[in-house]
Chains A and B, each alone.
Chain A
Amino acid sequence: MTFREKTHWVALVVMIAAFGWYFFRLHTALPHGPGNIAASGSLLTVVTIGIIVAMSIIIGVIAARSPSEAHAAADERERAIHWRGTHYAYYPIVLGVWLCIWMIFAGYSMPTLLNTLLAVVVSAELVRIGAQLYLYRRDG
């Protein structure tokens, strides 16, 4: 498995764990209502810092074990995989934006809108990483 493929697996696992925990906590432990937006913000800050720290440590360890691969620039196949993965992630973004527009007119609360937007971004990231991993496996 290449360095880039490993980093994608790390990103996928960390994203699922971090945002899985975030959304679980959101529905089980946080207070609902207007105060929820501040609580969501605090939780989101913790999750974001957690993701940055976990990714930095794990990818740092992987890079230290294969420094030449880690420092090599992406070649044309890897760039093509990156572009295609990003292209697939465009669709959940568009669907999510339309959903949020509808939610604004339907009168949903700000905390709900905030977490829907977050879910859209997370979904798009999971689609991007998942598609790129699939393409690495299929074309590898």
Chain B
Amino acid sequence: MALPFTNDIRTLRFLAGEMTQGDLGERVGVTRQTIAAIEQGKYSPSLEVAFRIAHVFGKPLEAVFQWDDGTD
């Protein structure tokens, strides 16, 4: 089932000098596979991990994750 939100992690990684999923995972405290799953919308991270990801990129949470359930 598709999650009701999208994210810009791939773009933000690119803008951060092609940061790898492994590097991001290491800085956030999760595995590379978990970052890949979040990026592809297959796994919904906890609020803590979502904030940690946003913090790595120096962005507010809503700049990384966007609510998108198709009702807007």
Contacts and interface: CB of A to CB of B under 8 A. Distances in A.
A2 B42 CA distance: 17
28 contacts: A2-B31, A2-B33, A72-B31, A75-B29, A75-B30, A75-B31, A76-B30, A76-B34, A76-B45, A76-B46, A76-B49, A77-B30, A77-B31, A77-B33, A77-B34, A77-B37, A77-B43, A77-B45, A78-B31, A78-B34, A138-B42, A139-B37, A139-B42, A139-B43, A140-B33, A140-B36, A140-B37, A140-B42
Q: Give the most central of B29, B30, B31, B43: most A CB within 10 Å.
A: B31
Nearest to B31: A75
Interface string B11-32: 0000000000000000001110
Nearest to A72: B31
Q: Give the most central of A2, A77, A78, A139: most B CB within 10 Å.
A: A77
Interface of B: 29-31, 33-34, 36-37, 42-43, 45-46, 49
User: What is the interface of chain B mostly: helix, strand, loop, or mixed?
Assistant: loop
Q: Give the most central of A72, A75, A138: most B CB within 10 Å.
A: A75
User: What is the interface of chain A mostly: helix, strand, loop, or mixed?
Assistant: helix
Interface residues of A, number: 9
Contacts of B37: 77, 139-140
B59 to A, nearest CB: 21
Interface string A64-107: 00000000100111100000000000000000000000000000
